[in-house]
Amino acid sequence: MTATPETPLPESPLPEAPLPEDRLPENPLPRDKFLWGVATSAFQTEGAPTSDWAHWKIADAADQAARLRGVGHHERTADDLELVSELGLNAYRFSVSWSRVVPRPGEWVQDEVDRCVNIAVTLRQKGIEPVVTLHHFAAPAWLAERGLDWTEDAFVEEFISFATRIVGALRGTVKIWLTLNEPNVHVSGGYLGGMTPPGKTGLRAAHRALVNMLRAHARLYTVIHGLCPGAAVGITHNMLPFRPDRPDSFLDRRAAAILDRLYNQSVLEAFRTGRVTLRLLPFGRIAALPLVGRLDFLGVNYYTRAHVNFTEFHPSRLGYFWEDRTGRGLTETGWEVCPEGFAEVLRAASSLGVPLVITENGTAETDDARKIAFMRDHLEVMQRCRAEGVDVRGYFWWSLLDNYEWLIGLGPRFGLYRVDFTTLERTRTAAADEFAAHAAGRSGTILGDMGETSSTSDQPVST
C-alpha cells in the first residue's frame, strides 16, 4: 500500500468581514422547504470560445458553432430566467463560466461576474433560490496551453482564486453552493479514459486529479463559510449502479464491484474517512485530506445504470455498457431507463449522513410521453425513499432547455423547453407542464394520476 504524502496547500485568506448579523441567511436547506428546480451549466447553454472545450475534438461546423454559443443562453438570459419562473419552481441551479470570467491570464471580466450577480438577484426577486456551481467541467483554454490541469497544484490555485472572488461577489445573494460538478465523471473522462479535456489516461493522473479536486472542495468549504455565514456547501456526485452482465459469473461480479469502488465509492469514502483512493485491488495510492465534516449536503446526479462483462473490462475504458433490461427502452443517449437504480443510489448516498439534494435527474427524449413516464417513475422512487427516511431536500430536473451534450453535441433533448437548434426558439413541452404540476405539489395532470406521490412532496420527513 503506498501512501502519497500530501503537502497541505495554505488556506486562502478570507477577504473582508462576514455579513452583518441582520443579513445572516436562515438555513438554506430546511426540512420543510423542498427545493423544486431545474439544473443547467454555463458551457452547455452559452458555449465559451475561450474554454478548453471550445475546440476539443470538433465533429463538424455545427458542433463548432454550438461550442461557441451553446443554445444562445448568454444573449437570452432574462427570457430564459422567465421560463424558470413560468414553471413555478423555487430553485434554479446554474454554473459560473470560469473561462468567460478569466479568458486570458490575469484578465478578470467584471461584466461576466455582474451578469451572474444579476442572475442571482433576478432569481431571488422571482422567489427562486439560486444554486451556484463553481466548476462544471469546462476550464479556461489558457491553462491547458500552459500545460496546467487538475494534476497540477498551480491549477488548483488558479481555481481557488477564481472561485473565492466569485463567492465574494455573490455572497449575500447566494446561499447554496456546489463547489464542483461530478469529480468522478470529470476524472474518468479527462484523466482516466482521455475522452474529454485534458485527454490524459491512467490511474496515476486520475488519482492526482481527484485528490486535487477534492482538496479544492475542502478549501472552498472554509472560504465559502467564511464569506457567507449560514451557507450550505455541497458537491455533486454522479452515481451509476454497476450490474454484472451474467449474475452467476464470479468475474463479472468482481468487475462490477471494482467499477463501483472506483466510480461511486471513492468519493463517498473520501467524505466519510478523508482518504482518497482509486484502487483496482485492495492496495493502491491513498491520500489524506481534511474532508470529514466539510460537506453540508451531497448533490446526487442520477440517470441510468450500467452492465459489466469481465471480458470487456478495462479500467481506463471503464468497460461498461447499456442495454434495455427493464423493458422500458433506451433513451436518446442510449442509456437504460432504470428507476430502481435511483433508489439504490439514494440509499447508498444517504449512508454519508448528510442531507441529499438531487442535483440532476433527467432523460433525453423527444417523445414527451416517454419523458413524462421517466419523470413520474423517478419522482415516485424519490418519494418512496423519503418516506423510508432518506433525507432528500430537493430535486432538480436536468435540464431547463435542450442544450449541448458533452461529446454528443446538439441532439439529445433533455429540456423541459424544446430548443429549435437553428432559430434557438424555445417551446414549452408537455413535460414542462408535468414538472410544474409536481413542483406545485399537485399530482401530474397530463397523463393520469401519480397517486400519493406528489401529495407528500412538501412534507418534512422525520428520520
Task: Point out which span in 114-122, 147-155, 180-188, 258-266 binds ligand FCB (CB under 6 A).
Answer: 180-188
Say whether residue 185 binds ligand FCB (CB under 6 A): yes
Stretch that binds ligand FCB, among 23-31, 148-156, 398-406, 434-442 (CB under 6 A): 398-406
Site string for ligand FCB, 408-427 (x = CB under 6 A): ------x-------------
CA contacts within 13 A on the Cβ side of 418: 12
Chain position whose Cβ is nearest to ligand FCB: 41
Given the rule CB under 6 A, which of 181-189, 223-231, 285-293, 308-316 is the region that contacts ligand FCB?
A: 181-189
Q: CB 236 → ligand FCB: shortest distance, Å?
A: 7
Q: Is 52 in the site for ligand FCB (CB under 6 A)?
A: no
Which span (10-18, 127-135, 178-186, 214-222) binds ligand FCB, by CB under 6 A?
178-186
φ and ψ at residue 358, rounded to 5 degrees? -80, 100
Closest CB to ligand FCB among residues 310, 414: 414
Name the residue nearer to ligand FCB (CB basis): 238 or 453.
238
363 binds ligand FCB (CB under 6 A): no
Site for ligand FCB in 270-309 (CB under 6 A): 301
Residue 365 as a binder of ligand FCB (CB under 6 A): the answer is no
322 binds ligand FCB (CB under 6 A): no
Q: Does 405 bind ligand FCB (CB under 6 A)?
A: yes
Site size with ligand FCB, rule: CB under 6 A: 12
Interaction between residue 406 and ligand FCB (CB under 6 A):
yes
Among 80, 158, 182, 260, binds ligand FCB (CB under 6 A): 182
Q: Is 238 in the site for ligand FCB (CB under 6 A)?
A: yes
The contact mask relative to ligand FCB for 102-141 (x = CB under 6 A, - = no) is: ----------------------------------------
Q: Which residues bind ligand FCB (CB under 6 A)?
A: 41, 44, 181-182, 185, 238, 301, 360, 398, 405-406, 414
